[in-house]
Structures are given as C-alpha cells and as structure tokens.
Chain A
Amino acid sequence: MIAFTTVFTAYFRQFIRDKGALFFTFIFPIIFILLFGWAFRNPGAQTFTVGLVDQGLPQSAAIMTQGLDSVVIDANQKVFEIQTGTMDDLLPLLKKGDLAAIIVIPENMDSAINQGQPINIQVYYDPSQTSNQQILIPILNQVINGINQYLQGTSPLIGMEEKSVQSHNLRYIDYLVPGVLGMSLMFSGVYVGLPIIQQRQARIIKRLGSTPLPRSMLVLGDLALRMILVLLTAALIILVGRLAFDVQMVGNWWELCGIVILGTLVFTSLGYLMAAFVKTEQAAIPILNVITMPMMFLSGTFFEVSSMPSFIEPVVKILPLTYLNDGLRQIMVAGTPSHSMTTDIAIMAGWAVICLAVTIRFFRWD
C-alpha cells in the first residue's frame, strides 16, 4: 500500500507539473464545448413550424398531421406547428425562414395508400440551417417511418411517439457534450502509454527494477491516477455543459461512472498496447496522433456517424470511441441509440480484453 501511494503521488506530482497534460486533460475539452456550443447555438429552436401542402387529400393530410402531432417535447408541447396552404403561399415563408420545412403530399397519395403502392413525400427545407440537418430531417424521417409502419399495420401510430421523444429536444450541444467527454476519455487513456515509454527509454524503470518495488505498482498507480482524472474531467465537462448551455445529465450517475471507467479501461489498454510495440517517445507521438485523430473525427464526437460517407462506415463500426460516445450519449442526454447499450458495452469490453491480452504477450519492461 505504501508503494502504491508512493507511485501514485509521484505520478500525480509529475502530472500537475506537466502543462501540456493539464491543458489536454482539462482545458482542451472545455474549449471544444464552448467553441462548438457557441458556433452551433440555436436558441429556442426546439420547435419547428412546418408548412403542409395537402393538395385536397383529406385522408393523407389527416395521417400526416396525426404523425407530426404525435411528436412531442412533453405532454403539452408539440414539436411541430403545422401551417397548411398552397405551395405558392408557403414557399416565400420558407425562404424568409418563418418555416423550417414544407411537406408536400403528392396528388395521388390517397389512392397510393389505398392500393398499397410506394410513394415519395417531398420535403423542402433550407440545408444551410444546421438545426434542420441535425434535428429536423431525422425527426421527419422517423415520422414517415412511423406512418409507413402504421399503414402496413406492423405498428400502431402511437409507437412512434416513443422513438421521437428521445430525439425531439436533442440540440447540437446536447449531442456534443457526451462526444467531447468520450473524446477526452480517449485522449487521457491512450496517452497512458507515453510516460511508460519515456520512463523505459530514460531507464527509470530499470533503475526502479533494482528496488523492492513491484513493477505492477507502476501500472496500478498510473491507472488509479487516470481514473481520478477522467472522473474529474467528466464532472468538469458536465458542469460546463450545464452552466454554459443548460445541458442536463438525465441518466443515472452510477451508470455514467461505469461507462466512463469502462471507456477509460479500453483506451488505457490501447495505450499500453502501443507501449508494448513502440520503443521511443519520438516514434510514439506520431503514432498517438494516428490512433486518436481519426477516432476523434469518425466516431461521432462532433457529427453524427450517419452523416459520414457510407464507405467510411466499416471503419467507424470498429472504432471503440463510436461505442463509448453512443453509450455516453444514451445515458447523459437520452440520445437516440445507434446501438443497444449491451452492444456498446460488449464491444468496448472486447477491445479492452484483446488489447490487454496482446499487451501482456508482447510488453517488455526493459
């Protein structure tokens, strides 16, 4: 225990004297949140006024209206306010920005429904409005999916309300905060490999080898420090999200701690894996960049994975940060799951086990 405390204290002192580490651990994620949160702020844009061009089809219009109305923020506020009219009336309003979108029910929709034929609904919107791309279109997609299921009789119309509830009020900042947390867990974790490499290269580890200190303490002490740091980082990120942008942590705090610790384990084992193969600090820095940079941008930290080009999808699907971000988002802001929580946890645990197994096989202390 003394040995553990000793190593922990030594690592802690070195950490607080390392300006770069302090910056990347605490300041960097906060800058991201403030910068992106400010750049993509959309005050009050939680409801949308949409135009509906019904072209005199009562059956289709009723279904569409019912579908849009079923998407609610809470019991007494709907997401969509519907303004009906002709295309000529509504288009100027869309261009002015009074309408978020115009939904056009095709002339033959009633008959298509009755005959069970496929038909496309046209949606006009202004893609330069970020909130449209981020929120409106996904919700409309769900509405239309819901209508389809309803029409096919596979699902009652009421079913889509549940789905919609999760994404209805997800602003970009709500999406961003868990992503930035995931990203900082990745950085904190993967960079665990660097001090080991430095100490091995500087022969500090060898020097300690001639003392009674068990080497496992070097790992345990460092791991304990990381755990404390990531929990602090998480608290800080959540606090800043809350104070600056009123991002609420809606989930269970214990679940959040669990997923944070699991994520840290995944990325620290990735860091140790790197230390098993990379011998010098000079080589480690570019390799760390190669590991972290693609993950930072491809794993849904800042942008939805679904908005990526499809050829990247296989890569995205193997990156552990994809699942950490997804899990964090589900817990923190009740984000729409890309994967089930079980999948998220299983894939992260798989990564940790594989990395640790390979590390144990190849890691050398000298």
Chain B
Amino acid sequence: MNSKTETVIEVSALVKTYGNVKAVNQISFDVIRGEVFGMLGPNGAGKTTTVEIIEGLRTADSGTVKVLGMDVSKQTRAIKERIGVQSQDPALFPTLKVDEIVNFFRSLYKKSIPASKVIELVALQESRNVLFNALSGGQQQRLSVALAFINDPDIVFLDEPTTGLDPQARRAMWEVIEAFRGTGKTVFLTTHYMEEAERLCDRVAIMDHGQIIALDSPQRMIEKYIKESAIQFKMTNYPGEEVLTNLTSVTKAIKEEDDIILYTNNIPAAISALLDLASANSSELSELFIRQATLEDVFLKLTGKRIRD
C-alpha cells in the first residue's frame, strides 16, 4: 500500500453477542478506497452481522467502526447518505412499478443519479412500468442491486449480488461492479461464489465462528495456503479420508458430498497410489480431473466446509 491509500472503513475490536453466541468476536480490518473487498464465510460465520453493523443497521456491543472517517454509532444518517446497500433478498414494495421504486429511493437521498441511468445500469428499460411483484426473480435482484448505486455512493455494499442470475446477467453484473470500482469507488462484497470473489475482489477476508481467519488477495491466499494441485473425483466404496490422506504424496484428502479432493505436490505418484487403492478396494473412480487450487480450496481447507447455502 502506497501513501495514496485511504482507509474508508475501519473496523476495530468489533464484538456482537446474541445470547451466548459470539456472532462477531473481536474482529478488526480496514477497507481501502478503490478496492473490491470480499467477505466470505460459511453461514452463521458472522458476515451479515458484521456488514449490518458497518451499514448502521445494528449496534455493536463493543469495538468501533468508522466509515468514511465517521463513527457509525454517532453519524449514522450522514454515513447512510454516502453508502449504497443491496440486501440479500430483494425486498421492495410489491405493488409499485420499477420507475416508482427508483424514484422513491432517489428522493430519499440528497444526491442521486438520474432514474434512467439507474435503470440502464441493470438493463431494465423494458420493465420500467412493470410492478415489482410481476418481475422475474432475476429482474428483482437486478433492480435491488441497481438501487444500491442510486445515490452515487462512495462505498457500495453488495450482499450476494448475483444470486439467482443466469450466467449472462451475472457477467453483466460483474462489469457493473468493475466499472464502479474503475471510478475510484469502493465495493464491499459478500458472496458465496468463489469464482466471483476470485475475479472481482482485490482482497478477501474469510470469516468463520465470528473471526477473520484469513485476509489477503485471492492469489496470495491460494499461494500461501495451498501449494499443491488438486485431484478431484468421485468413487464407490469410499475408504475414508484417513486412508486417502495416507496415500503416497497426498498431503490432504477432503470429501465434500460426492466429490473427493486430494491435494498433492506429485500428481503422477498420487494418481498411481489412488489407482492401486481403487483396484484393491474394487472402487470405481469417475469424473476424475486435475486442477490448480482455487479460492474454494482455500476456503475448504480453512473452514472444513464448502461455502454454500
């Protein structure tokens, strides 16, 4: 980070407890202007609580959060003028038209971008006069994301912005996010899609059990945590993770539903050992392929879970 970096979100020693559960347990991190900051974690990891505290929707038990230099617990209104939020479910007035919803949100802010630009952003021009409850799930989702940009915010918080979108619409959404970052603004992204995080995020934080267990750029994170390649396959007569981990050259074996993943630095030796095991065990191997490690593997390794609903 050079001298030009400016911290736009500063979280320090944040704690939030629900009953006996520490949803957020002493987390601290900074978000820099102009970056796409990703937050990943299994369900119940504390992501949503953290994000909602930053957005001023919840209050923390202790710790401080500064957004654009302002204290979230004190200057909530001023912060809300300058951030944009897309919540996970596209919850909007069911019997208002797209145009009406856009103008409703525009008039809540001191500063806003023209309605037509908002609608073009997510290609809803042809649905301007359609009631919200008559839109398809994907259209509702797109409108919900567009509204997060309506006040030309300094920071936009996107929570699963591409859930329910077809691949084409998802790529279009990625372009919107990248264009926004291109103007020097900041994106705080929560997502389940590792591919999305890898493509969009400058840095990602992985959260589990209320704590941040890793924070780095996706590439460095992969290099740091997984030096091996991955062999992924399905097999009958599954012998157990322990047996697979003990195979020659295999550093770790993980079973995720039907998929088994072996991590290794010596692919030929590991495959050879796997084939021997399979024939001795009368196991059938299928859908076997070798790939580079991804963020998904990092996540799996660190949390023991796949990121999924």
B50 nearest CB across to chain A (Å): 14
Is A122 an interface position by the 8 A CB rule?
Answer: no
Q: Which residues of B contact A213 (CB under 8 A)?
A: 108
Q: Which residues of A contact B108 (CB under 8 A)?
A: 3, 6, 208, 211-213
* Known contacts A13-B100, A210-B85, A212-B77; is-contact A202 B94 (Cβ 8 Å): yes
Q: Which residues of B contact A203 (CB under 8 A)?
A: 87, 89, 91
Cβ contact within 8 Å between A6 and B104: yes
Number of interface residues of A (CB under 8 A): 22
Cβ contact within 8 Å between A210 and B92: no
Is B214 an interface position by the 8 A CB rule?
Answer: no
Closest residue on chain A to residue B90 by CB atoms: A207
* Known contacts A210-B57, A212-B80; is-contact A6 B107 (Cβ 8 Å): yes
CA distance A154 to B296 in the complex (A): 96
Q: Provide the B88-110 mask, 1 if CB < 8 A to any CB of A, else 0.
A: 01011111100010001101111
- Chain A at the B interface: mostly helix, strand, loop or mixed? helix
Closest residue on chain B to residue A2 by CB atoms: B107
Interface residues in A188-215 by Cβ distance below 8 A to B read 199, 202-204, 206-213
Q: Provide the B226-237 mask, 1 if CB < 8 A to any CB of A, else 0.
A: 000000000000
Interface residues in B155-209 by Cβ distance below 8 A to A read 157
Is B56 an interface position by the 8 A CB rule?
Answer: yes
Is A18 an interface position by the 8 A CB rule?
Answer: yes
Cβ contact within 8 Å between A211 and B105: yes
A13 nearest CB across to chain B (Å): 6
* Known contacts A2-B107, A6-B104, A213-B108; is-contact A207 B91 (Cβ 8 Å): yes
* Interface range for B: 20 to 34
Q: Which residues of B contact A207 (CB under 8 A)?
A: 85, 87, 91-92
Is A14 an interface position by the 8 A CB rule?
Answer: yes
CA distance A210 to B147 in the complex (A): 11
The one of B55, B95, B96, B104 in contact with A210, judged by C-beta atoms closer than 8 angstroms, is B55
Q: Which residues of B contact A208 (CB under 8 A)?
A: 108
Cβ contact within 8 Å between B93 and A10: yes
Is B216 an interface position by the 8 A CB rule?
Answer: no
Closest residue on chain B to residue A211 by CB atoms: B108
Cβ contact within 8 Å between B96 and A206: no
B85 nearest CB across to chain A (Å): 4
Is B81 an interface position by the 8 A CB rule?
Answer: yes
**Would you list 18 pairs from A and B whose C-beta atoms are within 8 A, ordered by A residue?**
A5-B107, A6-B108, A9-B104, A10-B93, A13-B95, A13-B96, A17-B95, A18-B95, A203-B91, A204-B92, A206-B57, A207-B85, A207-B92, A210-B87, A211-B109, A212-B80, A212-B110, A213-B108
Smallest CB-CB A-B distances: 4 pairs: A210-B85, A203-B91, A6-B107, A17-B95
Which residues of B does A touch, CB under 8 Å? 55-57, 77, 80-81, 83, 85, 87, 89, 91-96, 100, 104-105, 107-110, 131, 157
Which residues of A does B touch, CB under 8 Å? 2-3, 5-6, 9-10, 13-14, 17-18, 199, 202-204, 206-213
- Beyond A2-B107, A211-B85, 17 additional contacts (C-beta under 8 Å) are A5-B107, A6-B104, A6-B108, A10-B104, A13-B100, A14-B95, A17-B131, A202-B94, A206-B57, A209-B57, A210-B57, A210-B85, A210-B87, A210-B157, A211-B108, A212-B108, A212-B110
